[in-house]
Amino acid sequence: MNELTHLDATGAAQMVDVGAKAVTERVAIASGAVVMQPQTLDLIMHSGLKKGDVIAVARIAGIMAAKKTHELIPLCHQLLISKVSVDIVPDTALPGLRVTATVKVTGQTGVEMEALTAVSVACLTVYDMAKAVDKAMEINDIRLMEKTGGKSGSYRAEPR
């Protein structure tokens, strides 16, 4: 296993210097889910919540979160992101919503944290908008699914 890069020789936190890294295209895909009562999913899918279009608002929240990751997660670099997409689809088998975020940059550091932050905030937004009807919702399985680019190469999560 590699050493932690955010610690200096004394163990103090530090921001990693990416100045000498090659500029490459980097893509990260993260996913997660919000599990809810079937009636809650039905309300969301048929615009039955007073707060409005849950999926549209959660998508925008996820996109905004990816762009603000450097403000939320200590030691993350501010990146000139070229693409963020947040897809939210119903899954009656959960029942609930599956959230996937894809983030792309051409730069010197990866966008895994931006993709994970997008999914996390989109899921939290779903919870916030539907909590009046279903406080027992669960946010599950937020994880990095895939990443490409950079010195460490590609990664793909094993299916569960």
Q: Where are the domains of the chain?
A: 24-148
Q: State whether the Cα torsion 21-23-83-77 is positive or negative.
A: positive
Q: What is the Cα–Cα distance from 13 to 82, expressed in whole angstroms? A: 28
CA distances from 48 to 37, 122, 137 (A): 14, 19, 17
Q: For residue 1, give both structure tokens.
A: 């296993």
Instruction: Show which residues are catalytic.
Output: 128
Residues 12 and 149: their CA atoms lie apart, in Å, by 28
Dist. CA 21–CA 78, nearest whole Å: 15
pLDDT by residue, tens only, the chain of 160 residues: 466 676 677 777 777 777 778 889 999 999 999 999 999 999 999 988 888 899 999 999 999 999 999 999 998 999 999 999 999 999 999 999 999 999 999 998 889 999 999 999 999 999 999 999 999 999 999 999 999 998 888 999 998 8
Fold of 24-148: Alpha-Beta Plaits (3.30.70)
Alpha carbon distances (Å) from 51 to 6, 43, 58, 135, 152: 40, 11, 12, 15, 43
Q: Return the pLDDT at 151.
A: 84
Q: Which amino acid is at 117?
A: T
Q: Return d(Cα 122, Cα 128) in angstroms, integer.
A: 10
Cα-based distances in Å from 58 to 11, 42, 105, 119, 143? 38, 17, 22, 9, 18
